[in-house]
Amino acid sequence: SLKIGNDGYQLTVTPKKVIVKAKTPQGVFYGMQSVMQLLPPQIESETIIDNVAWEIPCVEIKDEPAYGYRGMMLDVCRHFHDVEFVKKQLDIMAMFKMNYFHWHLTDDHLWTIEIKKYPRLAEVGSVRRNADGSIHRGFYTQEQIKEVVAYAAERYITVIPEVELPGHALAALTAYPEYSCTGGPFELRNKWGVEDNVYCAGNDKTFEFLQDILEEVIPLFPGKFFHIGGDECPKVRWNECPKCQKRIKDENLKDAHELQSYFIHRIEKIILAHGKSMIGWDEILEGGLAPSATVMSWRGEEGGIAAASMGHDVIMTPSKWMYMDHGQGAVEAEPIAIKFGLPLEKTYSYDPKSPKIPENLRHHVLGAQCNMWTEYAVTPEYTEYLLYPRMLALAELDWTPKEKKDYNSFTRRLDNQLIRLDMHHINYHIPMPEGPMADRIAYTENTTLTFHNSRNYPMVYTTDGSDPQTSSTKYEKPLYFNKDVTVKIATMLPSGKLSPVRSIEVVHEKLMPATEKSTQPGIELRRTEGNLYFVKDLDGAHWSAPKIVKDFEFKPDIEDKGAYCYTGYFEVPADGIYYFSSEMDELRIDGKVIISNDGKLIRHSRTRNSIALQKGKHAFQLLMINNNIGGYLRTWNNKGFILAPEGNELELPKPEKLTH
């Protein structure tokens, strides 16, 4: 008789009793999560805690979610995560009433699920040799899969498996190359990005292979949905493959895009025959959408808008709001991330129902999902650092009607929820102290450091070399210095927990003299051969004769294992403090090492420094080793170095300011 949805509940708390009513077991479960959240956060502790008032306020609550789909995806192929880690995340999802766990199980970089008919998928496809010679491995047995699925079901979470096709298939093709267009041999991809080698769409044996796999995987997952990927499938092999070209001709297809649609349609029939509904990334729209498909929109909202407008169900997961591998704060203060610019507030602000979808079709938006890709999430701890607390913002936007969302209210309540995460040993993100553009600040007379953080928490600091504690000096106004010092500063939560420490070295410098040399336009570029990795590997290197180039635009081929050295002069317009950054291996200014990324995985000019320079020309040497560190190639980085006077945006020196 309750007028409430299947996930809804009614909660009544009086001085004498607590009553939870719901139509369904999951409704009761969600009601009990609210009871737990009304209790002090220490209720989540593994051990008994004394001196806590175990009280709950008297309330009358009627509650149900805005969306039926409230999801999180975990990529276990770029970096593998074991069963215990997965269970830990399921526990937190359940606490916040999330109900779909999307498990990204196969890719170019690992195959992570046991297939008994094809044992080499686990034996070969789950072992990756990284560029530095280290081995990354991991897969789940079918018994472990069943264990996780059952664990999730106890928490009213449905597990959605993803088996990628027709692209992102190199791990499978390394084990069984006969299902590729070229026949191999292959190795698992040890660099990130998109792989050209995909399943051969012109070979019927490919579809038999995939059907066998699906017939083993599908019974392990009793939920409604099965995810087939369908994203980022290059057509280069299909365009060169006689079998694929014959398929295009025989099926009267227009091109390789329609061949992808043909491929997806064939797979959809297998999935439908097993009583499942197919999900794919928004690329499955290309060449014609399979009739029963649900679209997961990641390249912005456009795919979801198009699919919903066609009457298809959609799950919104646009990368600008929902990709948890994007950094949460300032690039100079945070650890590495694939991109930056996704603070907690931006995730919370997302509205899954775009106004561009006709109002009468907005019911096709099932909900939103956050995606935890793990190219740069090397450890379980860093994976959690990226995922939390933004996953809690996702949970709230999926549950709470748009008109009732309130970010200030959310952040106030979040302080309490973070204590609950502490009880579960979750390594969540705490906003870092931001403000200074570098971690080494040069000055000629004096300098002032101003700090802030994204949620206006208090900060504490020291200047004696020790790490700050909760009792350290509280930051209340900009810090003035006229002597050398190391500032160590951390953000402090209401619970007293501190963020990682940010260390700023403040250094007095005299202006570096400019050169009076006469110079010519352009800069010198040299190359040396060798399979090189570190700057020390260049000791005794034989460099080519210099080539004069106008700027840093030269981009080595991915397979080029050599190193490159730019030398020349750049010009600064006035005496002052200049900030520098580079994504290359080493930058020297007037013979002094200013930036060293030696052996580091670097993206987005995170390593920064400042120096005092006299007006005029200054010599530079810039080294780039075309290596692969942690799956990321130096050649993918921005070339050259960027600089700016104090307080300005860093930018590349203009070609007319570069000479030799």
Known catalytic residues are 107, 168, 232
Q: Please tell me whether the peptide bond between 166 and the residue prior to it is cis, using omega within 30 degrees of 0.
A: yes
Residue 526 near residue 504 (C-beta atoms within 8 A): no
The DSSP H or E segment spanning 101 is: strand 100-104
Q: How far apart are CA 35 and CA 200, in angstroms?
A: 53
How far is residue 609 CA from its own chain's centroid? 26
Task: Report the DSSP pairing between strands 563-572 and 658-659.
Answer: antiparallel
Torsion angle of alpha carbons 339, 343, 345, 351, nearest 10°?
A: 20
Residue 333 near residue 318 (C-beta atoms within 8 A): no
Tokens of 381: 């701890």
How far is residue 104 CA from its own chain's centroid? 14
- The residues, ordered by sequence, that sit 6+ positions from 139 with a Cβ below 8 Å of its Cβ are 80, 110, 111, 112, 113, 114, 122, 125, 126
Q: How far apart are CA 158 and CA 152, in angstroms?
A: 7
Alpha helices in 162-241 (DSSP H): 170-175, 204-217, 236-240
- The residues, ordered by sequence, that sit 6+ positions from 68 with a Cβ below 8 Å of its Cβ are 5, 7, 99, 366, 367
Q: How far apart are CA 587 and CA 565, in angstroms?
A: 10
Q: How far apart are CA 377 and CA 89, in angstroms?
A: 15
- Closest by Cα among 274, 172, 296, 273 to 227: 296
Tokens of 486: 């190391």
Map tokens 């979750």 to a residue: 426
Tokens of 35: 């009871």
Q: How far apart are CA 291 and CA 503, in angstroms?
A: 56
What's the one-letter identity of residue 402?
A: K
DSSP-derived secondary structure letter, 537:
G
Map tokens 């789940």 to a residue: 140
Q: How far apart are CA 428 and CA 422, in angstroms?
A: 9
Tell me the HSE value of 408 on the side-chain side, using a 13 A CA sphere: 0
What's the one-letter identity of residue 106?
A: T
Residue 502 near residue 433 (C-beta atoms within 8 A): yes
Neighbour count for residue 99 (Cβ, 10 Å): 23
Q: How far apart are CA 350 and CA 339, in angstroms?
A: 18
Alpha helices in 339-483 (DSSP H): 344-349, 380-387, 390-399, 407-423
Phi, psi of 639 (to 5 degrees): -85, 160
Torsion angle of alpha carbons 329, 333, 338, 340, nearest 10°?
A: 30
Map tokens 């570190």 to a residue: 534
